[in-house]
A and B are shown apart, each in its own frame.
Chain A
């Protein structure tokens, strides 16, 4: 059977530096798959290669039995791969609502004309608008973003901004969600909530999750599978318990 998502022999160099070195792995649907590794191990480069921001030098990325390597980022998004960033990449001068609605952009069909002539509630454009707003409201409910809804991003505390970014990625209705250090900069309480939400996103929305995370408590708490990277190579792969006990992993982390 073709894998849901797979990376095969992915290689990416930056001049003399090999950021990804012939990396291969697979993700099954419904998994929470975590990637760990020291700084500079190539984790974010991997994400950028998957979503089309970087072109890999060799290898390919497979999603739902199709090769997506070298596709433009907006095409990859259309296929159902959403992501968040390590450092927030929000639209700071837009409200939470507008940020989430932008996430719906790729599902919107109405053109300028039908949107401008949306005179009655039964029209197609009006129904579409209502549907998108309803979806966004669901996400606001799920992540409890009610208080942030009509406020500009720059007015919000850091932890809330992280959640808005997660919500915006969810608004694209992804099948695979890439989370780049979702817990970074969060306090203990926010992190606990995040663990529940990530589990909810997988269980209730049926989204497969590929996550980069440094916080071991979080990785061990919710992952089905853990992959450890060092210098762009996989040094260990397996259940959280196996990976944590792997001597290579201990060496890479503790030197």
Chain B
């Protein structure tokens, strides 16, 4: 029983970790907490669904379509809204992302309606594999594996590629990065695109478990944000660990204490973390010079 609860906690945690990671990627480069992240993922999932059902295309094509639309939505947010803001402070930027979130939410409701749709992935969420005395569905297993691989790739990209170094440099000192030949604007657009792609994968993985509708990402994005706060928004491994921890804690709470209050645990954790250790488990607190 305990192992079963933990394993399914890890599967949920993978989704939270992906959403948290998507937020952390943008936050690390531009210090914007992007509250449109969930809706960007929702739109991408709709696109995949349209490609699958209306055009009858195969899943890889749908995945590709979703990834492309996600990247475009990220670039649009950065290029059309964030970059236009005149000397914005963090609050202005948050308001911009909230505005973009509402635009996307309205757009999805207008185009596809508020009714719930089913997304069929080629991976079943009914068939299970037995490992010891634990049963795990194909979809959960795939979620765990895909999320882990994607997060590993993002981590390696950030820490060992030249663009990763440039992103870290941009976050620490934008002017100096510019002067040393880093095209900062393009880099920011690129990191918004990357984060949207990570979010889109999370959206596709979560869609078969929940259902596809305009509010589908509300829960995952809030949990992802909670995971990011728990682990520390500035540390990518921290965010991922926060995601897994949150998934497991939530599931344990649901199994042994109260199913009704399962969803509330995340917010209790946010409040506790902000009181006790505001920079999160692994996050560093940057003190900004004025």
A residues touching B (Cβ–Cβ < 8 Å)?
A: 51-53, 72-74, 77-78, 82-83, 85, 89-94, 98, 101-103, 105-106, 108, 110, 112, 115-116, 168-169, 172
B175 x A91 contact (CB < 8 A): no
A91 x B176 contact (CB < 8 A): yes
* New A-B pairs, 18, CB < 8 Å, besides A77-B178, A91-B173, A102-B177: A52-B178, A53-B178, A72-B178, A73-B178, A73-B179, A82-B180, A89-B175, A91-B177, A93-B284, A102-B166, A108-B162, A112-B157, A112-B161, A112-B163, A115-B161, A115-B162, A116-B161, A168-B180
Q: Is B252 part of the binding interface, using a Cβ–Cβ cutoff of 8 Å? A: no
26 pairs of residues in contact across A and B, judged by CB atoms under 8 Å? A53-B178, A72-B178, A73-B178, A74-B178, A74-B181, A74-B182, A77-B181, A82-B180, A83-B179, A85-B175, A89-B179, A90-B176, A91-B177, A93-B286, A94-B168, A105-B180, A105-B181, A106-B180, A106-B181, A106-B182, A108-B162, A110-B162, A112-B157, A112-B161, A112-B163, A116-B156
Q: Is B172 part of the binding interface, using a Cβ–Cβ cutoff of 8 Å? A: yes
A167 to chain B: closest CB distance in Å? 12
Query: Of the candidates A51, A74, A90, which one forms a contact with B173 in the assembled complex, judged by CB atoms under 8 Å apart?
Result: A90
Residues in chain A near residue B162, CB distance under 8 A? 105, 108, 110, 115
Residues in chain B near residue A83, CB distance under 8 A? 179
Interface residues of B in 90-134 (CB under 8 A from A): none
Q: Is B183 part of the binding interface, using a Cβ–Cβ cutoff of 8 Å? A: yes
Interface residues of B in 168-205 (CB under 8 A from A): 168-169, 172-173, 175-184
Residues in chain B near residue A94, CB distance under 8 A? 165, 168-169, 172
State A156–B166 Cα separation when bound (angstroms): 22
Residues in chain A near residue B178, CB distance under 8 A? 52-53, 72-74, 77
Query: Of the candidates B156, B172, B184, B284, which one forms a contact with A91 in the assembled complex, judged by CB atoms under 8 Å apart?
Result: B172
State A92–B171 Cα separation when bound (angstroms): 11
A172 x B157 contact (CB < 8 A): no
A91 x B179 contact (CB < 8 A): no
Residues in chain A near residue B160, CB distance under 8 A? 115
State A103–B169 Cα separation when bound (angstroms): 10
What are the 4 tightest A-B residue pairs by CB atom distance, in nearest-first order?
A106-B181, A77-B181, A73-B178, A89-B176
State A53–B175 Cα separation when bound (angstroms): 8
State A124–B179 Cα separation when bound (angstroms): 27
Query: Of the candidates A72, A85, A116, which one forms a contact with B176 in the assembled complex, judged by CB atoms under 8 Å apart?
Result: A85
A18 to chain B: closest CB distance in Å? 23
Whether A93 contacts B181 in the complex (CB less than 8 A), given A112-B157, A115-B161, A115-B162, comes out as: no
A20 to chain B: closest CB distance in Å? 19
Query: Of the candidates B165, B166, B168, B181, which one forms a contact with A172 in the assembled complex, judged by CB atoms under 8 Å apart?
Result: B181
B residues touching A (Cβ–Cβ < 8 Å)?
A: 156-157, 160-163, 165-166, 168-169, 172-173, 175-184, 284, 286
Residues in chain B near residue A77, CB distance under 8 A? 178-181
State A72–B183 Cα separation when bound (angstroms): 8
B172 x A92 contact (CB < 8 A): yes
B173 x A89 contact (CB < 8 A): yes
Whether A103 contacts B180 in the complex (CB less than 8 A), given A91-B169, A112-B163, comes out as: yes
Query: Of the candidates A74, A110, A115, A168, which one forms a contact with B183 in the assembled complex, judged by CB atoms under 8 Å apart?
Result: A74
Residues in chain B near residue A91, CB distance under 8 A? 168-169, 172-173, 176-177
Residues in chain A near residue B184, CB distance under 8 A? 74
State A187–B89 Cα separation when bound (angstroms): 38
State A108–B166 Cα separation when bound (angstroms): 11
B256 to chain A: closest CB distance in Å? 41
State A52–B181 Cα separation when bound (angstroms): 11
State A125–B168 Cα separation when bound (angstroms): 21
State A83–B180 Cα separation when bound (angstroms): 8
Residues in chain A near residue B165, CB distance under 8 A? 94, 98, 101-102, 105
B168 x A105 contact (CB < 8 A): no
Query: Of the candidates A51, A73, A89, A105, which one forms a contact with B166 in the assembled complex, judged by CB atoms under 8 Å apart?
Result: A105
Chain B residue nearest to A109 in the complex (CB): B162
Chain B residue nearest to A77 in the complex (CB): B181
